[in-house]
Amino acid sequence: MDQRISITDLKAKKKRGEKVVMMTCYDYPSARLLEAAGVDILFIGDTLGMVVLGYDTTVPVTMEEMLHHTKAVVRGSSRAHVLADMPFMSYQTSPEDALRNAGRLLKEGGAQSVKLEGGVRVAETVRFIVDAGIPVMGHIGLTPQSINQLGGYKVQGKTPAAAVRLINDALALELAGAYAVVLECVPAPLAQTISDRLAIPTIGIGAGPHCDGQVQVFHDLLGLFDDFVPKHAKRYAELGSEIREAVRAYAGEVRSGRFPTEKESFGADKPVFSEAARIA
């Protein structure tokens, strides 16, 4: 069995000036494809609630749903680091609940680390989880689980006071033992400042080119989700339209009788069926 990328490997990448490649991943076939393409971190994000399960936000996602998808990604990979999101209310109630749920994502799900949202306010919870032997990635800036409090998907840290709060959040997470921090929808100059201040990697999403790595949502990058396309997402393919055309072609051939042909059918010696028809 291949050795998976560890948090030590990820932190070493920053020291060497190598960028970390991270993508969301929610199932077995996607895990196989992304790992073969060289992705470092397969991230089972709670975004699966929106792009896979059809929820309006990430808030309704449950631990059971996260475990289900994490197991599938683990089965589809052997080299990439597998990171699982802690869903809303799986860590906010108490450090003990947070540790219990983080442990489930490793013990039952098979992940190598977990991610949770927040800075200074969750630092002690992060420390509690890390002290138990579970690696934690932080997440600051736009925190989607707090969407009802933030009032929408907005860039964070645009004022001096807000920027200082984000810097302090990042430093608090590093001090608490987080091995990396996601910076989401943060002005690029601020993200660069935070990246320079931290010894641990920063993973940007809508945070400019100066982070130590980047993460994107699988469905955004490949053109599979059209309900909402964020500014930070670059389309590297339009698989949604290709899938529609392929299925439309299949449906047309079925209705016209052009599929299946003899090529897609199984034959047998005629005497076998003649005898079967006689007996029947």
- Per residue in 106-124, is it b (16+ CB within 10 Å) or e — as a string? beebbbbbbbbbbbeebbe
Is 261 found in the same domain as 193? no
Is 116 found in the same domain as 94? yes
Phi, psi of 112 (to 5 degrees): -100, -20
Which of 220, 237, 254 corresponds to the end of one domain?
237
Is 101 found in the same domain as 122? yes
Report how far apart, in Å, the C-alpha atoms of 137 and of each of 64, 118, 198, 211, 252 are: 20, 11, 13, 15, 48
With 0.85 as the threshold, say if the pTM is over it: yes
For residue 2, tell me if it sits in a domain.
no
Which of 205, 221, 237 corresponds to the end of one domain?
237
For residue 1, tell me if it sits in a domain.
no
Is 261 found in the same domain as 218? no
Whichever domain contains 141, its CATH number is 3.20.20.60
Instruction: Give the pLDDT band (50/70/90) at residue 149.
Output: low
For residue 268, tell me if it sits in a domain.
yes
Q: Over the stretch 23-54, which tens digit does the pLDDT of each residue have?
A: 999 999 999 999 999 999 999 999 999 999 99
Catalytic residue among 117, 184, 238, 264: 184
Is 254 found in the same domain as 134? no
Is 232 found in the same domain as 165? yes
Residue 184 annotated in active site? yes
Is 274 found in the same domain as 159? no
Is 128 found in the same domain as 52? yes
Is 247 found in the same domain as 233? no
Which pLDDT belongs to residue 269?
74
Least reliable range by pLDDT among 25-29, 77-81, 202-206, 227-231: 227-231
**Within a 13 Å sphere around the CA of 33, how many CA atoms are in the beta-carbon half?**
10
Range(s) of the domain holding residue 274: 242-279
Which pLDDT belongs to residue 271?
73
